[in-house]
Amino acid sequence: MKIAVLLMAAYFLGNFSPAFFLGKLTANIDIREHGSGNAGTTNVMRVLGLKLAILVLFCDLLKGVVAVWMGRYFSGETMAGVCGLLAVVGHNWPVLLRFKGGKGVATTMGVGFMIHPQLAWICLAVAIIIIIITRYVSLASMTGVLLWTVLLWKTNGESAHIWLGIALSLLVLYRHRSNIKRIVDGTENRFDLKKKLNRS
């Protein structure tokens, strides 16, 4: 019974969408009907500006942190990973929002920092460098998650964590499949911080 409650709590925690609610509260819009149609940080930045995007990033990241903490506190390390994964799934496919959510990158970051913070910082630094060089947020997001998984494996991380990394990597690749196609085609949107700062 305890396990079932934990799993449901982690999934429904992921269902909470700050991008959706802030879109409704500040502009009376469904963020999923604007920009890229994604309920996440990058699209909020594109549609609503940098300040709200930072708030969305923090809230989505916190979902991953809380989900892992719940699993770890009530049931141990394996359940910590499972709850983290379910929070990402809940973010991506929220039943409360008719299964149309975000791409799970920020929530995945929260999970990564709770599972192995040292490796997460390395991956975040690499992702920032990729954004600076290419201005592709999607490429940086995918690379960061994949690198975290590889580093877990190379540093002989716990098997449960490595499997978590594999699952998160598959999710981030699947959710970014359209971005991958646009990167290959050369039509992917590039991040421009100066424009975002001017808008905010």
Predicted TM-score (pTM) of the model is: 0.92
- How many other CB atoms sit within 10 Å of the CB of residue 34? 16
Residue 193: its pLDDT value, please? Answer: 63
Residue 55: its pLDDT value, please? Answer: 97
How confident is the model over 8-18, as pLDDT tens digits? 999 999 999 99
Name the residue with tokens 């709200």.
52
Residue 189: its pLDDT value, please? Answer: 87
List of the chain residues with pLDDT < 50: 200
Residue 18: its pLDDT value, please? Answer: 96
How confident is the model over 105-125, as pLDDT tens digits? 999 999 999 999 999 999 999
Residue 36: its pLDDT value, please? Answer: 86
**How does DSSP assign 8-55, residue by residue?**
HHHHHHHH--HHHHHHHHHHS--GGGSTTS--SHHHHHHHH-HHHHHH
Residue type, 41: T
Residue 70: its pLDDT value, please? Answer: 96
